[in-house]
Amino acid sequence: PEYSQRLQYLGDTQQNCTIRLSHVTQKDEHEYYFRFRTDKPDGKWLGKPGVTLNVTDLQVEAPERVTEGHNVSLTCKSSCTLTDRATFIWYRNSQPLTERRDRNNQLLLQSVRREDAGRYSCALHGHSYISPAAHLSVTYPPRNVSVSITGSGVIVEGDSVTLICSSDSNPPALNFSWFKENQSSAVGSGQSFSALQSGRFYCEAHNQHGSQRSDAVTVTVHAGADGNVIVIAATSGGV
């Protein structure tokens, strides 16, 4: 049953016994024999030794992660020896890298960018089989660090306005420090910070690859006529 839709007899009943096996996979890697039988009592013959079918498997060897700005090499490994004329095609996220069709089985990515992250696979030109994908992660320090504000507007006296720090980084930033302008020491830590007084505040996001600070946010607190506290928050220009 597993061959019924993929096996085609191309020969005749005389001398040509050619068959074609389509959509070959590694499960088809066996030794194949030819056997014929006649209507005579001893009229059967088995061609032994047979023909061994070796099916090439392709695997992408790549590091799991690379730091932004570094170089990285990916290798398309074959389970058998290929001819010197073999040409390799590379794919990222199932899309062909059309500019890359190499005789060399290595793909060199120079000065890696975040956009280079993805699932890489390879194939031999002229063949439909594509290797399983290997995932490449690009690590980088925090970028686009910003502060958002919750609780701005009119709040009850004694409450606070909460500042939240966010960033784009890989791996995600785990350490956040809060500073008030013109003060050298941090006034808080963690992704959120409760501002109880007026001032200009900014955050710094950190991971093992570096850090970046946000623009400062101005928080102005003053008492309203009804005894409530009015908090006015506005983002300043770049730092």
Q: Which residue has the higher pLDDT, 188 or 151?
A: 188
pLDDT at 189: 95
pLDDT band at 195 (very low <50, low <70, confident <90, very high): confident
Give the closest residue to 187 by CA, choosing from 168, 204, 209: 204
Please check the confidence at residue 239 and state whether its pLDDT lies above 50. Answer: no
Contact 147, 164 (CB under 8 A): yes
pLDDT mean over 77-84: 80
Give the closest residue to 105 by CA, choosing from 53, 139, 56, 68: 56
3-state secondary structure of 179: strand
pLDDT at 98: 64
pLDDT mean over 189-199: 87
Pick from 32-36, 52-56, 225-229: least confident = 225-229
pLDDT band at 150 (very low <50, low <70, confident <90, very high): confident
pTM, full prediction:
0.69
Q: How far apart are CA 151 and CA 158, in angstroms?
A: 13
Q: What is the mean pLDDT of the chain?
A: 84
Contact 141, 176 (CB under 8 A): no
| All residues at 6 or more sequence positions from 49 whose CB lies less than 8 Å from its CB, including other chains | 31
3-state secondary structure of 222: strand
pLDDT at 54: 79
Q: Are both 58-132 and 141-235 of the same fold? A: yes
Give the closest residue to 180 by CA, choosing from 147, 223, 143, 229: 147
Q: Which residue has the higher pLDDT, 199 or 121?
A: 121
Please check the confidence at residue 107 and state whether its pLDDT lies above 80. Answer: yes
For the chain, give every domain's residue range: 7-52, 58-132, 141-235
pLDDT at 79: 79
Q: Is the CATH number 2.60.40.10 carried by domain 58-132?
A: yes
Contact 229, 222 (CB under 8 A): yes
Please check the confidence at residue 237 and state whether its pLDDT lies above 50. Answer: no
| 3-state helix, strand and coil shares in percent for the chain, rounded to the nearest 5 | 5, 55, 45
One CATH from 3.40.50.10860, 3.40.50.11060, 2.60.40.10, 3.40.109.10 for 141-235: 2.60.40.10
Pick from 68-77, 116-125, 170-179, 192-201: least confident = 192-201
The residue with tokens 């306005």 is 161
Please check the confidence at residue 71 and state whether its pLDDT lies above 90. Answer: yes
